[in-house]
């Protein structure tokens, strides 16, 4: 079955985006900057965090965006605490007519409550070339495994962690003297390029999902192979 997940007709109003972030928020910043520069036609209508003092919320505030702290403690102790938390998130997302949700360093696993409400309308960015190295501390794992290439992936979010259909990837060579931090910094530069690009592709209605595969309508043919070491 073929699904079109965003509108094919050219839209006049900007895509309504929410960003969920727990920490530093540099990917949030990249999307904000791209919107302000006019390279992404979207509007961030909500920035939501599970951490009260997250720099992501400060960034939202600096740019005049609506920021929300949703407190996990109010749901702790309930038998379905994670679902209950996501129901509160969902009500914020619905109140703001959100069309696309971006997870950007959001350090909570989303439940089916959110996944089912935003099928192929929720993206995540992950600092590895998925399906290699899902989870945490992945730059270190790529180095320790002896990989010659690392990178980052934007994918749609499904129930399995870091498992959804892949939208865009960028590869980065692993250098002999790389530390996890130096590699993470080079990957992050690419994250800041591909996440806004994925949002713009969605806004333009150019992402088509067939099973696990995401096709980009009118995408450019792939370039040359990336070989590392060159
Ligand atoms: C990024 O490396 C992202 O790939 C991962 O978490 C990190 C978040 O960084 N999911 P930031 O908060 O966007 O700066």
Above 70 in pLDDT, residue 54? yes
Above 80 in pLDDT, residue 6? no
Quickly state the pLDDT bin for 221 (edges 50, 70, 90).
Answer: confident
Residue 3, pLDDT score: 52
Above 50 in pLDDT, residue 1? no
For residue 195 the two structure tokens come to 């996440």
Smallest CA separation from ligand 1 atom 14, residue: 26
Residues having CB within 6 Å of any atom of ligand 1: 21, 23-27, 104-105, 125-127, 152, 188, 191
Q: Which of 98-112, 184-198, 207-221 has the lowest mean pLDDT?
A: 207-221
Task: Give dist(CA 46, CA 26) in Å, integer.
Answer: 16
For residue 222 the two structure tokens come to 């792939």
Q: Which of 26, 33, 109 for a ligand 1 pocket mutation test, highest count of atoms within 8 Å of Cβ?
A: 26
Which DSSP category does 143 fall into? H
* Average pLDDT of the chain, as a whole number: 95
Going from the C-alpha of 172 to that of each of 52, 139, 162, 222, the distances in angstroms are 33, 11, 19, 16
Q: Is 192 one of the catalytic residues?
A: no
Q: Which of 188, 189, 192, 196 for a ligand 1 pocket mutation test, highest count of atoms within 8 Å of Cβ?
A: 188
Q: What burial class does residue 164 get, using C-beta atoms within 10 Å of its C-beta: 0-12 exposed, 13-18 middle, 19+ buried?
A: buried
Average pLDDT rounded to a whole number, residues 33-59: 98
Nearest 5°: the CA angle 227, 26, 33 is: 95
Quickly state the pLDDT bin for 28 (edges 50, 70, 90).
Answer: very high
- Architecture per CATH, domain 15-118, reads as 3-Layer(aba) Sandwich (3.40)
Domain 124-216: top CATH class? alpha beta
More confident residue, 156 or 219: 156
Smallest CA separation from ligand 1 atom 12, residue: 25
How many Cβ atoms from other residues are within 10 Å of residue 38's Cβ? 7
Task: For the chain, give percent helix, strand, coil, nearest 5.
Answer: 35, 25, 45
Task: Give dist(CA 49, CA 29) in Å, integer.
Answer: 14
Residue 2, pLDDT score: 46
- Portions of the chain given CATH number 3.40.50.170: 15-118, 124-216
Radius of gyration (C-alpha) of the chain in whole angstroms? 18
Task: Give dist(CA 130, CA 155) in Å, integer.
Answer: 9
The active-site residue, picked from 75, 96, 126, 155, is: 126
Above 70 in pLDDT, residue 155? yes
More confident residue, 92 or 6: 92
**Residue 27 Cα, ligand 1 centroid: separation in angstroms?**
6
């Amino acid at each position: 079955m073929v699904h079109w997940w965003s509108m094919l007709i050219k839209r006049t109003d900007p895509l309504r985006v929410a960003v969920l972030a727990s920490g530093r928020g540099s990917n949030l910043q990249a999307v904000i900057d791209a919107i302000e520069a006019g390279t992404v036609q979207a509007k961030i209508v909500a920035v939501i965090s599970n951490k009260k003092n997250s720099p992501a919320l400060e960034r939202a505030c600096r740019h005049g965006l609506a920021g929300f702290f949703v407190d996990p403690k109010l749901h702790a102790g309930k038998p379905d605490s994670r679902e209950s938390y996501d129901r509160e998130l969902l009500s914020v997302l619905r109140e703001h007519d959100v069309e696309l949700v971006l997870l950007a360093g959001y350090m909570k696993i989303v439940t089916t409550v959110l996944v089912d409400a935003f099928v192929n309308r929720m993206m995540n960015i992950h600092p590895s070339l998925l399906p290699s190295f899902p989870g945490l501390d992945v730059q270190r794992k790529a180095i320790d495994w002896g990989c010659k290439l690392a990178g980052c992936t934007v994918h749609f979010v499904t129930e399995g962690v870091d498992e959804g259909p892949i939208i865009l990837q960028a590869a980065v060579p692993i250098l002999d003297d790389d530390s996890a931090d130096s590699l993470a910094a080079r990957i992050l530069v690419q994250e800041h390029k591909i996440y806004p690009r994925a949002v713009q592709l969605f806004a333009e209605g150019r992402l088509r999902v067939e099973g696990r595969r995401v096709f980009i309508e009118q995408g450019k043919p792939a370039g040359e192979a990336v070989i590392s070491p060159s």
